[in-house]
Structure 1
Amino acid sequence: MTKPLKIWSALILFLFLFPVFIQLLPGEQPETSSKKVKESSSSMVYAANITEEKRNEELGLNGKRALLYFTHTHEAFKPVTEAKQGKIVVSHQTENITKFGEKLQAQLSINGVETDILPVNNAEEMAKKRIPHYRAYKAIRPHVEQQLQKVNYDLIIDMHRDSAGPQITTATYEGEKYAKVAFVVGTENPNFAKNKAKAQQIKDEMERLVPGITRNIITKSRHDGDGKYNQELHPSVVLIELGGIGNTEEELNRTVAVIAKAVTNALSTPGTSTF
């Protein structure tokens, strides 16, 4: 073998074995790129959590919790059922008020308010037990009571859809249409004054955000309604009527966003420890 060929052979062998020699050297090995990416990602998530916690603390929202439930689960909106199912109905098993409750839950959670939905389909439970419609508030009551024993909520919302038409339940603000919100308070319960105050606070916040988006606070006794609406279970139970039978999905979605913002503002107001 000639001398140049020997030199080239030795060089090739050295280059081939060089990575092996490096691995055998003592000392800390460099981190793999995947490990670096993982640690970087973890740091980003941790930083995001810290930022969110700091924001909630500044707003006074840390630990604030809300509960949503539906006494009349199947209440639906004609334009929504027509668009989704091709049927114009005011009661539907899936396309109903609960869908907008889920949207409200999501927006409240994004805003820093931990929000639960009562896992009870009251309409189905009543149908199984052959309970008449007028006893819906009594049917949902034990489920709400049980949940309130588990968690200390700052706000409890019973979401409904009003039976009025769009001429009554629609507002226009800056060229956009919104589903109006009404509040119902039972006069025959010991929490009446506090329930009404909670409803008024949310109403005021909503009006500040979108003037004209709410209707009056409706008070009812046992002579013209249930009279209590389970509001005696907690001073922060609020019954809201989201729009009416003729409101569209777009109008309802806009109003849900306003409700979420109004509730967040109300919960973050200093001095509202129970709301």
Structure 2
Amino acid sequence: MKKSLKVWSALIFVLFIFPIILEFIPSETSGETAAIGPLNNQQLVYATNINEPEPQPQPQPQIQTAKRALLFSTHSHEAYEPITQQHDGKIAVSHPEANIMRLDETIKSQLEFNGISTEILDVDTTSVMKEQGIAYHKSYDVVRPYVQKSLQKGNYDIIIDIHRDSLKADKTTLTYAGEKYAKIVFVIGGEHNNFKVNQELAERLTTELEQMVPGITRPLVFKAGHGVDGKYNQDLDPSLILVEMGGIGNNEAELNRTSAVLAKAVSNVLQ
């Protein structure tokens, strides 16, 4: 009986002391888990940068501008009444500052946006004529040597002499898709041997413009005979065209929209 009591007492003691002994036994967890612990956002980002390096940037193709354009305005002081009025409060069709040469800059920007390298002829023809006392009807003769000098330096895919018509806004303005545009008309001089080549280019541009904005062009004007220049320097190059952008009553917004359309049409035809 005593022996049995001792056995039971020893068993109860072992069961009591066993949990205490377990507390002193080393844990079997791995060193990796113990060392890392929970990751915060900064650690995750850093780990991604180490394990998956950022791809190297690939070289981007450069826009090619193989096509070249030359712009000038024979009648350099031609102006638009809304623009002169906004400039200095005076309504005028000729102006020494707020004139069609500003439109040259706008068209240049649009052509270059469409991938065509563009130059502007550096001459204010009207000022030259005033300084030298040359009559207005001699304008094409005055600008001619400047154009020739540029052509001697290099070739151009298109040469544009930019003018404005003398008609009122009701004749030179188009409303299309809720926006107003200054209408375009091409003028061809018929008194030189290669006028048909210049005319063909103008007709191709007219077709392209009409596909983009129906009604934006007026019928091509053909000039020859008594009382007109008859050449408009188009005999210098088959790619020289004379374009009239709107008329005296068109404003800057209308001209800017048309400039963008013209530049895109030129790009499409040349490319």
Using the size of structure 2 for normalisation, the TM-score is: 0.77
**Pairing of 1:1-275 with structure 2 (within 5 A):** 47-48=59-60, 50-53=61-64, 62-268=65-271
Write the distance in 2 (CA, Å) between the matches of 1:135 and 1:52: 41
**CA offset at residue 222 of structure 1?**
3.4
* Structure of larger gyration radius: 2
**Structure 1 residue runs of 4+, over 4 Å off?**
none
Write the distance in 2 (CA, Å) between the matches of 1:51 and 1:127: 45
Write the distance in 2 (CA, Å) between the matches of 1:240 and 1:149: 23
Which position in structure 2 is the counterpart of 1:26?
Answer: none
Q: What letter matches 2:135 in structure 1?
A: P
Write the distance in 1 (CA, Å) between the matches of 2:122 and 2:232: 19
Matched length = 216
SS of 1:88's equivalent?
A: coil
Q: What letter matches 1:129 in structure 2?
A: Q
**CA offset at residue 63 of structure 1?**
1.6
**CA offset at residue 47 of structure 1?**
3.7
Write the distance in 2 (CA, Å) between the matches of 1:88 and 1:191: 40
**CA offset at residue 224 of structure 1?**
4.2
Q: What letter matches 1:118 in structure 2?
A: L
Q: What letter matches 1:140 in structure 2?
A: V
Write the distance in 2 (CA, Å) between the matches of 1:194 and 1:120: 27
Q: What letter matches 1:197 in structure 2?
A: E
Write the distance in 2 (CA, Å) between the matches of 1:107 and 1:193: 27
CA RMSD of aligned residues (A): 1.4
Write the distance in 2 (CA, Å) between the matches of 1:105 and 1:151: 18
SS of 2:155's equivalent?
A: coil
Structure 1 segments unaligned to the other structure (5+ residues): 1-42, 54-61, 269-275
**CA offset at residue 85 of structure 1?**
1.4
SS of 2:219's equivalent?
A: strand
SS of 2:192's equivalent?
A: coil
Write the distance in 2 (CA, Å) between the matches of 1:218 and 1:110: 29
Write the distance in 1 (CA, Å) between the matches of 2:227 and 2:207: 26
**CA offset at residue 64 of structure 1?**
0.8
Q: What letter matches 1:64 in structure 2?
A: K
Q: What letter matches 1:261 in structure 2?
A: K
Structure 2 segments unaligned to the other structure (5+ residues): 1-55
SS of 1:216's equivalent?
A: coil
Write the distance in 2 (CA, Å) between the matches of 1:47 and 1:91: 49
Q: What letter matches 1:236 in structure 2?
A: S
**CA offset at residue 181 of structure 1?**
0.5
Write the distance in 1 (CA, Å) between the matches of 2:269 and 2:226: 32
Q: Residues 208-238 of structure 1: CA distance to partner in whole angstroms, max 9, x if unpaired?
A: 1000000011000132421000000000100
Using the size of structure 1 for normalisation, the TM-score is: 0.76
SS of 1:214's equivalent?
A: coil
